[in-house]
Amino acid sequence: MFEEYKIATLGSHSALQILKGAKEEGFKTVCICLKGNEKPYESFRVADEMIIIDSYKDFFSIEKKLIDKNAILIPHASMIAYLGMDYIQSMQLMHFGNKNILSIEAHRVLQKQWLEMANLKIPKHFSSPETIDRLCITKFHGADGGRGYFLAKDAKEFYTKLAQSTKEYYIQEYVVGIPIYIHYFYSPLTNEIEVLGFDKRYEANVDGIGRIAAKDQLACEINSSYTVGGNSPVVIRESLLPEVFAMGEAVIKASQQLTPGGLFGPFCLETILNSDLKFYVFEISARIVAGTNVFMNGSPYSYLRYNEPMNTGRRIAREIKQAILTDSLSKVLG
Ligand code: AMP
């Protein structure tokens, strides 16, 4: 009877994985795709059905069509950025995951309070450029993949680099260490936290600067920037895993105090691990992250847990299937 439902998502971000995973679990899939972006979804054979739209705002006019198909929509960062949280909140279409948590995640101050409630170490936030007293990273709002971020060690450098920009910014202590993105899944059906994998991002131009000599870097006055171009897999020291699980559990517990139902499904803690082996969490994503795409065929950790190829997209579909089969679909929608 689960076959009466379809899994749908917007063709971008992690849609290949979401749709492939859904097919592996036996669902029919629908890809809503911007005209001109169809090629990968057709070529990789992940969509049983394509709905082509001319612009993202046309999504609103096909919502009814998706409802009639009994489709369950899987959110990802591009979908949230393109459709907007206001529309997603008002949508009648079945939606996997808790929308209230997505709204909290989208709000930097609320997100910070959430991480503090969970007692996680977070980089210091500077509320005004004048208070900068160490190396800081300045971030801009929106899921633009780290574009335009810059480093500054004091107010003078901050204003020079901000230049004429009027964009809303957020100043955070820059933690020196290695970036580690932790992919979790929390099942509201079994109340279990799973660790499905780890990745790191491949960012222009911080990951390219080392390819030229220091004297050339200085000569062309290159600024660090953090535009995400791709991701690579990571395995971590096994001795860090107990803490990884504890951090995930703390985040889930705190989320349940923030909003009914709390966070469930896939989520990611975006961390910097410093040389004292302390995790600093600089962001949380309360849905599937694109870094899980490195494990289309499963990760070393999902192999340990499942003994079969299990990516985050497939894990979502399995949760939905389990919920339908146990008459608890409402537990995974929100
Ligand atoms: P974000 O948009 O917050 O995910 O950050 C983009 C990139 O900037 C990350 O992948 C990190 O490489 C880097 N980054 C962000 N915040 C920090 C921080 N507080 N300390 C060090 N690096 C950071």
Write out pLDDT tens, residues 279-333.
Answer: 999 999 999 999 999 999 999 999 999 999 999 999 999 999 999 999 999 999 9
Tokens of 47: 């969509």
Q: 236 with 251, same domain? A: yes
Alpha carbon of 282 to ligand 1 centroid (Å): 7
| Residue 256 shares a structural domain with residue 274 | yes
Give me the helices (H) in 167-299, please: 214-219, 241-258
Find the 163 Cα to ligand 1 centroid distance in Å.
Answer: 21
Other residues' Cβ atoms within 10 Å of the Cβ of residue 317: 28
201 CA closest ligand 1 atom index? 10
Per-residue confidence band for 179, with pLDDT thresholds at 50, 70 and 90: very high
Q: How far apart are CA 60 and CA 57, in angstroms?
A: 6
Residue 226 CA to ligand 1 centre (angstroms): 7
Q: What are phi and psi of 171, to 5 degrees?
A: -105, 130
* Cα 137 to averaged position of ligand 1 atoms, centre (Å): 8
On whether residue 224 sits in a domain, the answer given is: no
CATH number where 239 lies? 3.30.470.20
**Do 321 and 2 contact (CB within 8 A), yes or no?**
yes
Same domain membership, residue 299 and residue 234: yes
Average pLDDT over the chain reads: 95
Q: Is residue 85 within 8 Å of residue 79, measured between CB atoms? A: no
Residue 249 lies in a domain: yes
Whether 333 is in a domain gets the answer no
Q: Take atom 1 of ligand 1 and give the residue whose Cα is closest.
A: 146
Q: pTM score, two decimals?
A: 0.95
Q: Do 138 and 55 share a domain, yes or no?
A: no
Q: Could you tell me if 19 and 116 lie in one domain?
A: no
Query: CA-to-CA distance for 38 and 332, rounded, in angstroms?
Result: 29
Claim to verify: residue 44 and residue 153 sit in the same structural domain: no
Percent of all residues in the chain with a pLDDT value above 70, rounded to a whole number: 99
**In terms of residue numbers, what domain contains 85?**
2-95
Give the pLDDT of residue 126.
96
The CATH number covering residue 78 comes to 3.40.50.20
Residue 288 lies in a domain: yes
pLDDT at 142: 62
Total number of domains constituting the chain: 3
Contacts 24+ apart (CB under 8 A), 200-208: 200/231, 200/232, 200/234, 200/291, 201/146, 201/228, 201/230, 201/231, 201/232, 201/291, 202/228, 202/229, 202/230, 202/231, 202/232, 203/146, 203/227, 203/228, 203/229, 204/229
Give residues (CB < 6 A) around ligand 1. Answer: 123, 137, 139, 146, 149, 172-175, 179, 201, 203, 226, 270, 272, 282-283
Task: Name 66's Cβ contacts closer than 8 Å, sequence gap at least 6.
Answer: 8, 30, 32, 51, 73, 93
3-state secondary structure of 193: strand
At 144, the pLDDT band (50, 70, 90 cuts) reads: low
Residue in the block written with tokens 């289309």:
296
Of the given ranges (161-175, 197-211, 232-246), which has the lowest mean pLDDT? 161-175
Q: Decide which of 173, 193, 213 is a domain's last residue.
A: 173
Mutational pocket test of ligand 1: of 270, 279, 285, the residue with most ligand atoms within 8 Å of the beta carbon = 270
The answer on 69 and 52 residing in a single domain is: yes
Q: With a cut of 70, say whether residue 115 has pLDDT above it.
A: yes
The alpha carbon of 135 and the centre of ligand 1 are apart by a number of angstroms equal to 13
Residue 8: pLDDT over 90? yes
Q: Which atom of ligand 1 is nearest to the CA of 173?
A: 19
Asked if 288 and 316 sit in the same domain, the reply is yes
Is 236 among the domain residues?
yes
CA–CA gap between residue 115 and residue 255 (Å, rounded) = 9
221 part of a folded domain: no
In a domain, 239, yes or no: yes
Quick: pLDDT tens for 67-108. 999 999 999 999 999 999 999 999 999 999 999 999 999 988
Is the model's pLDDT at 197 over the cut of 90? yes
Residues 159, 300: one domain? Answer: no
